[in-house]
Structure 1
Amino acid sequence: MRFGIFIYDGVEPIDLATFGVLSMARRIAPEIEICTIAPRAGSIVLASGLKVIADFGVDDAPACNLVIVTGGPGWPAQAEAPATLDYIRRVHASGRIASVCTGGMILAASGILDGGAATTKREVVPPERSPLEAMRAGYDAIDVCEAMLVDRGDGLVTGGGVTLCIDTTLHLLATMLGPRVANETARIMEYQRAWRANRIEFPPVLVTR
């Protein structure tokens, strides 16, 4: 099962915890494969200067069972990048796609969130504007929720801000590979208590179909 992580210049490094969760999950479910996808293959400069190498660009990316779109200060540029938005629409049309943090703003710009519920990062350093409020103000066709994550039940999941990318990835593992894989991954990460507390204090929105 192949998971793709979409990155770009200006991604917040902590959003790569999505990769870390999947890496730990491979100890439980070795069939997991992980690749990184970017607007172009090669070197990507994350927020604060960390450099990573994207395995693929959007034009040669392999088919994935799920693509996770990350967030960070570089999201506004991606929300206006035709190649990125076209790639997101293609992935959504053929399979599962998810976002973490302000990756949800990129999904919103692509139009795939229209007609349903979604969430994104809410907490900011003033006077920065909350992306959650920006989504609410800028996209009338989206039912914007303040939640840990929103799972619309149709292969489309949006996660909340920053470290909630961990919770969102665990949720995706539970959905796709079963609760045992997610629970065991949380256990070996020593994250089960935090995951449980987050679900109680900041519940997900789960839409049944």
Structure 2
Amino acid sequence: MCYQWTVSVPHRVAILVYDGVTLLDVAGPAEVFKEANRFGADYRITLVSPGGADVTSNLGVRVAVDGAVSAEPAIGTFLVPGSDRYPRARVPGELADAARRPAAAAGRVASVCTGAFVLAAAGLLDGKRATTHWKVTHELATRCPACRVEPDAIYVRDGSTYTSAGVTAGIDLSLALVEEDHGPALARDVARSLVVYMQRAGGQSQFSAPLQGPPPRSPALRRITDLVTGDPRADHSLAALAGHLNMSTRHLTRLFRDELSTTPARYVENIRFDMARALLDQGHNATQAAAQAGFPSYESLRRVFTRKLSLSPAAYQRRFGTTRRHQSVSEKPAPERFL
């Protein structure tokens, strides 16, 4: 294989590791930068810890470090991986300080998954847009009211600060950083070599669990939500829902807004969408899923899927319906699979 080499200057990538760090959050981005070096980049990857001591990852694997973060000179990219411990617990002051000090001088700062909680604790997300794993975006918004959390993004750039979604999204982010440094051609070579998407379609919603949340406090609203979830195919127009409670449509709309931060129509759509997605996961075709979930037609289901996931129902089912490929020798791979 012939590679087209490019002229590059050294770029130091410092990855902050600590006890409990998610190993894939460290290894995934490091692999992208290392692979980029094969195509002409010059990333110098170092692992640093708050005090310079080796750490133990979430898998119990010991991670040897190159030194203390305070001793690391001229950082081009400062990367903070995540940990299952945070968001469950507060980020220790020592760890927040270890992120804050080098970030001030680094060319850019990035986090993988729940590493955003470390950046938030260090005050590095104040006034910025950010994301993290879809399961804990609400917790990040609560912990960091000064930042604007974007729950569906695979990664977010705000100035020189980058945050990414769960686990493997660190690979997406790292590819974007490589593209920023060396252009799309080199980044595409790296993506092909690692057999990953250059840019995956859709946002985090395609990977998230169905709609979940605490029941409404209001007994009247709880009755309505139970009605919708119990039979998504029924007539759940605003007038019909309000009629069940002998309530004005305006008052019902206010209840939904105040307690669920949505509208009755959007709530019904979300319930139907979740049911349709579950039916697709079970192997039903898109037309069957649309009918059973209460959508008036396949086209209406397709519009909702495209708006929420940037995927058609058929594309979603191909991607998530099975891990087995029933593909003949003569059949070509789907065009979105490789770049």
* Bucket of the pairwise TM-score, normalised by the shorter protein: 0.7 to 0.9
For 1:167-178, what aligned pairs fall within 5 Å after superposition? 167-178=172-183
Matched, 1:5 2:10: no
Query: Using the alignment, how far apart are the partners of 1:38 and 1:131 within structure 2?
Result: 25
For 1:142-153, what aligned pairs fall within 5 Å after superposition? 142-146=147-151, 147-152=153-158
Aligned counterpart for 2:67 among listed residues 52, 56, 73: 56
SS class of match (1:71): coil
Query: Using the alignment, how far apart are the partners of 1:78 and 1:106 within structure 2?
Result: 11
Checking the alignment, whether the CA contact within 8 Å between 2:131 and 2:156 is kept in structure 1 is yes
Matched, 1:100 2:112: yes
Checking the alignment, whether the CA contact within 8 Å between 2:22 and 2:84 is kept in structure 1 is yes
Checking the alignment, whether the CA contact within 8 Å between 1:58 and 1:84 is kept in structure 2 is no
Checking the alignment, whether the CA contact within 8 Å between 1:6 and 1:36 is kept in structure 2 is yes
**Bigger Cα displacement from structure 2, 155-164 vs 35-44:** 35-44
Matched, 1:166 2:171: yes
Query: Using the alignment, how far apart are the partners of 1:136 and 1:93 within structure 2?
Result: 23
Cα offset, 1:40, TM superposition: 2.4
Question: Whose strand fraction is larger, Structure 1's or Structure 2's?
Answer: 1
Matched, 1:201 2:208: no
Counterpart for residue 95 of structure 2: 84
Q: Which runs of 5+ in 1 are unaligned?
A: 123-129, 204-209
Checking the alignment, whether the CA contact within 8 Å between 2:187 and 2:198 is kept in structure 1 is no
Letter in 1 for 2:15: I
SS class of match (1:48): coil
* 1:105-163 residue CA offsets vs partner (Å, 9 max, x unmatched): 110111111112000111xxxxxxx32110112221111002100011x2110011111
Q: Which runs of 5+ in 2 are unaligned?
A: 1-10, 205-339
Matched, 1:184 2:193: no
Counterpart for residue 268 of structure 2: none
Query: Using the alignment, how far apart are the partners of 2:89 and 2:47 within structure 1?
Result: 16
Cα offset, 1:78, TM superposition: 9.2
Cα offset, 1:79, TM superposition: 5.4
Checking the alignment, whether the CA contact within 8 Å between 1:12 and 1:46 is kept in structure 2 is yes
Checking the alignment, whether the CA contact within 8 Å between 1:21 and 1:166 is kept in structure 2 is yes
SS class of match (2:54): strand
Checking the alignment, whether the CA contact within 8 Å between 1:121 and 1:160 is kept in structure 2 is yes
Change (3 A) 1:74 1:8: farther
User: Taking structure 2 as the reference length, what is the TM-score of the superposition?
Assistant: 0.53
Question: Whose helix fraction is larger, Structure 1's or Structure 2's?
Answer: 2
* 1:30-86 residue CA offsets vs partner (Å, 9 max, x unmatched): 422110111122321001211110111122122210011001224459953333323
SS class of match (1:201): coil
SS class of match (1:37): strand
Q: Which has the higher contact order (CA 8 A, sep 6+)?
A: 1
Change (3 A) 1:116 1:138: same
Change (3 A) 1:19 1:181: same
Matched, 1:114 2:120: no
Change (3 A) 1:8 1:77: farther
Query: Using the alignment, how far apart are the partners of 1:66 and 1:173 within structure 2?
Result: 11
Letter in 1 for 2:14: G
Query: Using the alignment, how far apart are the partners of 1:54 and 1:79 within structure 2?
Result: 24
Letter in 1 for 2:122: S
Letter in 2 for 1:189: L
Identity among equivalent pairs (%): 31
Query: Using the alignment, how far apart are the partners of 2:87 and 2:47 within structure 1?
Result: 20
Cα offset, 1:179, TM superposition: 2.0
Query: Using the alignment, how far apart are the partners of 1:111 and 1:49 within structure 2?
Result: 29
Query: Using the alignment, how far apart are the partners of 1:133 and 1:111 within structure 2?
Result: 18
**Bigger Cα displacement from structure 2, 141-150 vs 182-191:** 182-191
Checking the alignment, whether the CA contact within 8 Å between 1:18 and 1:165 is kept in structure 2 is yes
Letter in 2 for 1:41: G
The number of residue pairs the alignment matches comes to 191
Give the alignment's Cα RMSD to 1 decimal.
2.0
Letter in 2 for 1:149: Y
SS class of match (1:89): helix
Matched, 1:39 2:40: no
**Larger Rg: 1 or 2?**
2
